[in-house]
Amino acid sequence: MSAAPLSASLLRQPVHLLALGFGSGLFPKAPGTAGTLVAVPAAWLLLSWPLPAKLAVVAALFVAGVWICGESARRLGEHDHPAIVWDEIVGLLATCLFLPADPRWLLLAFVLFRFFDIVKPWPIRDLDHRLGGGIGIMLDDIVAAAFAAFCLFLARSIPML
């Protein structure tokens, strides 16, 4: 399923500016990956913050994202248009909540999050198809983030020889 390309003029509307990841969602190939890349500097910054502050930021961005993504999808006339990447931005930040400030862990978080967001194992695919509006758009990426974070937890618990 290939969605119609969107015009950059949409970025003049604040809801689309945010939902389309400041324009990264307009990349013709792999817009979700481009959107996730936009989150890398913010994720790096948040890694050194205390956990309660990180949780508050991710929660606020998630709640805002429910409206942002839902409204953008409504205006575009398509549920979860590939150009809507706010959910990927928040998803990467959620993946990184418990990581140390180390670029290797951030890189692994990026790869694992993209893997689960693209492959969408159960129940991610079901959430993506069953829930409508902004909550459906956001929730499948949060579950992908949880899967990736769990893998990171397992990797961090393996003692290095």
CA 128, CA 140: separation in Å to the nearest integer?
Answer: 6
What integer is the mean pLDDT of 128-139? 87
> Exposed (0-12), middle (13-18) or buried (19+): which is 13, by Cβ within 10 Å?
middle
Residue 137 identity (one-letter amino acid): I
- CB contact at 8 A, 129 and 79: no
**Domains of the chain: which residue ranges?**
15-157
Report the alpha-carbon angle 33-35-39, nearest 5. Answer: 110
Q: How confident is the model at residue 19 (pLDDT cuts 50, 70, 90)?
A: very high
Quick one: which of 94, 108, 111 has its CA closest to 155? 108
Task: Say what the pLDDT of residue 2 is.
Answer: 57
**Per-residue b/e over 117-150, b at no fewer than 16 CB within 10 Å?**
beebeeebeebbeeeebbbbbbbbbbbbbbbbbe
State mean pLDDT over 15-22.
97
Q: How many CB atoms lie within 10 A of CB 93?
A: 23
Token pair for 67: 């409206």
- Which range among 4-8, 88-92, 102-106 shows the weakest confidence by mean pLDDT? 4-8
pLDDT of residue 90: 98
For all residues of the chain together, what is the average pLDDT? 93
pTM of the model: 0.93
Dist CA 57 CA 60 (whole Å): 5
- Percent of the chain clearing pLDDT 70 (strictly above): 98
Based on DSSP, count helices (H) and strands (E) in the chain, helices before strands. Answer: 7, 0
Q: What local confidence, expressed as pLDDT, does residue 66 receive?
A: 97
Give residue 95's identity as a one-letter amino acid code: T
Instruction: Assign 161 a pLDDT band (cuts: 50, 70, 90).
Output: very low
Q: Are 34 and 27 within 8 A, CB to CB?
A: yes
Residue 131 confidence class, pLDDT cut points 50, 70, 90 = confident
Q: How would you class 23 by CB atoms within 10 Å of its CB: exposed for 0-12, middle for 13-18, buried for 19 or more? A: middle
**pLDDT at site 43:** 98
- Residue 127 reports pLDDT greater than 80: no
